[in-house]
């Protein structure tokens, strides 16, 4: 840790040539990853991350640098190197630092470091045994892994604010690879939390239950036909299905794209209809123990529940203070980064489409011929054009209002702003799922989510010819 006294000195040296804002981001994190392959512990490794990122702003300019030399000499050398970008006089002075007070919604209960490695391995072994119990010779690889991360952060900035943040995250992954001698298929399950590891023994997050599901998906995929291609109605499942909104509409609603006019959504569209009237969506950093939750963002602003879209009307963007300068807007607690090596910017946290009034059953029943996309492997979007793509890891054909055969290799492509207008049914079964989002400020923890929804028409890519 660095003392407040040293932080004040570093901030003043950073500001001495005319920067209008300076900020020290101190990080001390450590991780432990353990993985099993076919029941045996294959790797176990530990990582420690300890450094400082220093950010100087002057109007619309950002100067950034990081160092692992955390001595007074090292930090002042960094400040003196970065302040050379400006040649004016000091206009902002720091003489004290006040602690930012925020609600602690995800307070650490049991430090993952105090959980014996053997206990973490036992969790994975239970999942592996469940797959083994299926006793199916087509399963050739079983990979189970657990990643635990403890992150300590302290931020000191020239607005005389300082705060500490202490969080921990854990995530497991189960991958099952099956072969029929001709090709391979994979089933995959992942869950994550900021809560105790016992979370992975319960309900929908139960590792054993999900390992069984992943194995069965891999096996079913072996005999599944290829997904047909073309335009069709697509019903998107709850939870993971939220990756559609995350990929297609999330990045264009972040100030990092909006501020420079690089998003297809413009600030002047706030208050206008951008989605179907039955669509409301939020980005909420305040969910207790939520995967993407933070109490205070990297600029010292408290985490918020940001209403992005209400009844189809664009309400607000996810904004950080720096990009907010170009938009005449204040940061709303969305500023994050992967670690001290990244320049922070506005990012999603827990982003989801709100529950509607239909039921899942009603939506399926109302669909004559189309695709039911249940789970996804991820995707990407170009915020300037809205073009997105994402691959389905579990999908079925709907015929005459019934879920029929499983298909493999389905990809959904389209333009986010068109999809939002094309949502014609929203169910009441909202669920969230934990993932990662990669962008300019690195890979951050984000939840996606939605209830079951239907998109009237979407382009589906696949190798199975026309849908009949």
Subset of 380-419 contacting other proteins (CB under 8 A): 380, 382, 384-385, 387-391, 408-411, 413-415
Residues 329-358 that bind other proteins (CB under 8 A): 341, 343
Q: What minimum distance in Å lies between the beta carbon of 186 and other proteins?
A: 5
Selected binder of other proteins within 80, 338, 428, 459 (CB under 8 A): 459
The closest alpha carbon to 354, from 255, 445, 284, 270, belongs to: 284
Q: Which stretch binds other proteins (CB under 8 A): 37-45, 274-282, 364-372, 424-432?
A: 37-45
Query: Which residues, other chains included, contact 289 with Cβ-Cβ below 8 Å and sequence gap of 6+?
Result: 105, 106, 193, 194, 195
Alpha carbon distance 409, 399 (integer Å) = 19
User: 278 with 358: CB under 8 angstroms?
Assistant: no
Residue located via tokens 């854990």:
170
Sign, CA torsion 238/242/245/250: positive
Query: Strand 423-426 and strand 453-461: pairing?
Result: antiparallel
Binding-site size for other proteins (CB under 8 A) equals: 76
Residue closer to other proteins, measured from CB, 246 or 360: 246
Shortest distance in whole angstroms from residue 31 CB to other proteins? 9
Q: 12 near 90, Cβ under 8 Å?
A: yes
By CB under 8 A, tell whether 46 contacts other proteins.
yes
User: Are the C-beta atoms of residues 121 and 41 closer than 8 Å to each other?
Assistant: yes
In 3D, which of 179, 257, 219, 231 has the Cα closest to residue 418? Answer: 231
Closer to other proteins by CB, 152 or 461: give it: 461
Q: Is 80 in the site for other proteins (CB under 8 A)?
A: no
- In angstroms, the CA 280 to CA 270 distance is 14
Of 12-20, 127-135, 289-297, 371-379, the segment contacting other proteins by CB under 8 A is 371-379
Burial zone of 391 (CB within 10 Å; 0-12 exposed, 13-18 middle, 19+ buried) = middle
Buried b (16+ CB within 10 A) or exposed e, 171-185: bbbbbbbbeeeeeeb
- For other proteins, the closer CB: 291 or 376: 376
Shortest reach from residue 56's CB to other proteins, in Å: 9
Q: Report the nearest approach of other proteins to the CB of residue 29 (Å).
A: 10
Q: Does 465 bind other proteins (CB under 8 A)?
A: yes
Q: How far apart are CA 334 and CA 254, in angstroms?
A: 9
Q: Are 35 and 151 in contact (CB under 8 A)?
A: no
Q: Are 123 and 116 in contact (CB under 8 A)?
A: no
Window of 39-47, 279-287, 304-312, 441-449 that interacts with other proteins by CB under 8 A: 39-47
Phi/psi at 395 (5° precision): -150, 150
Nearest Cα residue to 187 out of 156, 159, 224, 153: 224
Residues 111-170 that bind other proteins (CB under 8 A): 117-118, 121, 140-141
- What's the residue count for the chain? 468
Considering the complex, what minimum distance in angstroms separates the CB of residue 41 from other proteins?
Answer: 4
Q: List the interface residues with other proteins, window 215-244 (CB under 8 A).
A: 226-227, 229-231
Q: Does 81 bind other proteins (CB under 8 A)?
A: yes
**Contact with other proteins (CB under 8 A): which of 89, 400, 466, 468?**
466
Torsion of CA 153, 64, 348, 101, to 10 degrees: 40
The region of 42-50, 276-284, 303-311, 313-321 touching other proteins under the rule CB under 8 A is 42-50
Near other proteins by CB under 8 A: residue from 110, 133, 261, 277: 261
Minimum CB separation from other proteins for residue 118, in Å? 7
Instruction: Work out which of 5, 101, 107, 260 binds other proteins, going by CB under 8 A.
Output: 260
Compare residues 71 and 110 and give the one whose CB is closer to other proteins: 71
Residues in 56-75 that interact with other proteins by CB under 8 A: 60-70
Integer angstrom CA distances of residue 112 from 6, 167, 190, 192, 284: 31, 11, 18, 13, 25
Let me know: does 379 contact 410? Beta carbons within 8 Å: no
The stretch near other proteins (CB under 8 A) out of 126-134, 232-240, 379-387, 443-451 is 379-387
Q: Interaction with other proteins in 305-334: which residues (CB under 8 A)?
A: none
Chain centroid to Cα 402, Å, comes to 32
- Which residue, 105 or 341, is less far from other proteins as judged by CB? 341
Smallest gap from Cβ 305 to other proteins, in A, equals: 29
DSSP state of 204: G
**CB nearer to other proteins: pick between 150 and 306:** 150
Interface with other proteins in residues 180-209 (CB under 8 A): 183-186
Q: How far is the CB of 53 from other proteins (least distance, A)?
A: 9
CB of 297 to other proteins, least distance (A): 19
């Amino acid at each position: 840790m660095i003392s407040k006294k040293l932080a004040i000195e570093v901030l003043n040296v950073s500001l001495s040539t005319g920067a209008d804002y300076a900020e020290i981001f101190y990080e001390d994190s450590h991780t432990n990853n353990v993985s099993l392959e076919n029941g045996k512990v294959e790797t176990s490794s530990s990582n420690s991350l300890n450094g400082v990122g220093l950010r100087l702003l002057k109007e619309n300019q950002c100067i950034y640098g990081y160092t692992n030399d955390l001595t007074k000499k090292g930090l002042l050398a960094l400040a003196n190197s970065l302040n050379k970008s400006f040649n004016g006089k000091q206009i902002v002075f720091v003489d004290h630092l006040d602690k930012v007070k925020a609600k602690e919604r995800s307070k650490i209960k049991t430090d993952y470091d105090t959980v014996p490695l053997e206990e973490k391995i036992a969790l994975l072994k239970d999942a592996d045994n469940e797959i083994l119990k299926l006793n199916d010779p087509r399963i050739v690889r079983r990979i189970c892994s657990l990643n635990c991360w403890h992150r300590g952060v302290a931020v000191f900035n020239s607005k005389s604010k300082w705060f500490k943040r202490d969080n921990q995250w854990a995530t497991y992954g189960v991958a099952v690879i099956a072969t029929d001698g001709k090709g391979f298929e994979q089933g995959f399950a992942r869950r994550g939390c900021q809560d105790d590891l016992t979370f992975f023994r319960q309900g929908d997050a139960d590792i054993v239950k999900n390992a069984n599901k992943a194995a069965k998906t891999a096996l079913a995929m072996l005999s599944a036909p290829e997904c047909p291609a073309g335009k069709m109605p697509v019903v998107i499942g709850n939870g993971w299905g939220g990756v559609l909104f995350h990929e297609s509409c999330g990045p264009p609603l972040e100030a990092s794209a909006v501020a420079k006019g690089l998003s297809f959504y413009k600030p002047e569209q706030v208050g206008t209809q951008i989605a179907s009237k039955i669509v409301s969506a939020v980005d909420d950093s305040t969910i207790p123990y939520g995967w993407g939750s933070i109490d205070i963002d990297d600029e010292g602003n408290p985490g918020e529940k940001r209403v992005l879209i209400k009844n189809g009307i664009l309400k607000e963007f996810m904004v950080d203070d720096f990009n907010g300068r170009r938009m005449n807007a204040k940061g709303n607690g969305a500023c994050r980064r992967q670690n001290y090596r990244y320049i922070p910017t506005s990012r999603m946290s827990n982003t989801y489409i709100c529950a509607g009034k239909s039921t899942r059953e009603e939506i399926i029943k109302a669909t004559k011929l189309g695709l039911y996309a249940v789970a996804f492997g991820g995707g990407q979007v170009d915020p300037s054009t809205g073009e997105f793509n994402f691959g389905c890891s579990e999908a079925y054909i709907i015929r005459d209002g019934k879920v029929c055969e499983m298909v493999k290799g389905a990809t959904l492509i389209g333009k986010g702003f068109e999809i939002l207008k094309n949502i014609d049914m929203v169910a009441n079964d909202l669920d969230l799922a934990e993932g990662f989002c990669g962008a300019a400020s690195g890979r951050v923890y984000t939840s996606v989510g939605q209830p079951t929804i239907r998109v009237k028409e979407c382009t589906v890519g696949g190798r199975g010819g026309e849908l009949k």
